[in-house]
Amino acid sequence: MVWTILLLIIGFVVLIVGADWLVDGATSIGIRAKMSPLMIGLTIVAFGTSLPELIINVFSCFQGNSGLAIGNIVGSNIMNLLLILGVAATIYPIDVSRISIRRDIPAGFVATIALYLFAHFMGPKNSIGWAEGLALLACAVIYLILTVKVKDPENTDVEAVQIPMPWWKTILFVLLGIGGLYGGGELVSRNAQIIAKAWGMSDAMIGLTVVAVATSLPELITSIVAATKKNAGIAIGNVLGSNILNIFVVLGISGLITPLQFDTKMNNSLFFLFGANLLMTLFVFTGKGRKISRFEGALMLLAFSGFMTFTVLSN
């Protein structure tokens, strides 16, 4: 067990470093393409930080642990909204652009509702198969087209993010990042399952807690760095984009690999995810301006503590 825990920790480190390298390389490409901070956060950074979820879900699906795959996504999305945005907002208040209010926040609600409907009413009951996977991927294509086509006039200061790296370094970081994500994802997935099952936890519970925390670390680090640099576009775009891509892309691809069995006990977590979206939206529209304040960030952290306590006690 000691060796398993050590391998899990090594996997976390490799996963985080790999995601950091990939995000740096991909962001450098985005800057060269003259993308805004919000656009970089919603697409390149969000996709990069969602890769741990994708890699672990792919491994889990091939190993027959579909409950872990769904739990990983639901748990990661709740953590993104409450913990990561909460931490980022307590560091520096997060301004939310009009385009995010009109497009990205509603897309988060649509993704959550789609997951619930597809799991319960489309195809075989309480499962997400290849048809649902294709539908989720189609939603991802529509969202990405809207993201690329609709420009944000409030977020155009590309140079505020960073100066692009040389091309050789950019490509090197992307390749090393992908390798780190693959190796770290394999270590985390395999050893997290061994440890959690030794503690008597179900696959869905493993995904909601241990694996969700591990795969959300890149988003947490990225948003903290963005918040300390007072770059709200990257912070909010990273979280919103990652949550949307987690459901549409990661679960979509997972459903194509193997049917994902939906444990009905996950309904409580799905309702909590919907509530987390509502709470974030409420905070955006309360107070001065379209922002999440430090106090509201602290309340989000409190809500996340409540979710984790409820999840562990209900196991």
Confidence (pLDDT) at 233: 65
Confidence (pLDDT) at 158: 42
N-terminal to C-terminal alpha carbon distance within the chain: 22
| Contacts with 15 (C-beta within 8 Å, 6 or more apart), sequence order | 52, 180, 181, 184, 185, 187, 188, 214, 215, 217, 218
CA 263 – CA 94 distance, rounded (Å): 35
3-state class (DSSP) for residue 292 = strand
- Please list the ranges in the chain whose pLDDT falls under 50: 155-161
Confidence (pLDDT) at 315: 64
The CATH number for 265's domain is 1.20.1420.30
Question: Residue 204's domain spans which residues?
Answer: 2-313
- Total number of domains in the chain: 1
Confidence (pLDDT) at 81: 92
Among 279, 281, 278, 268, which Cα is nearest to 307's?
A: 268
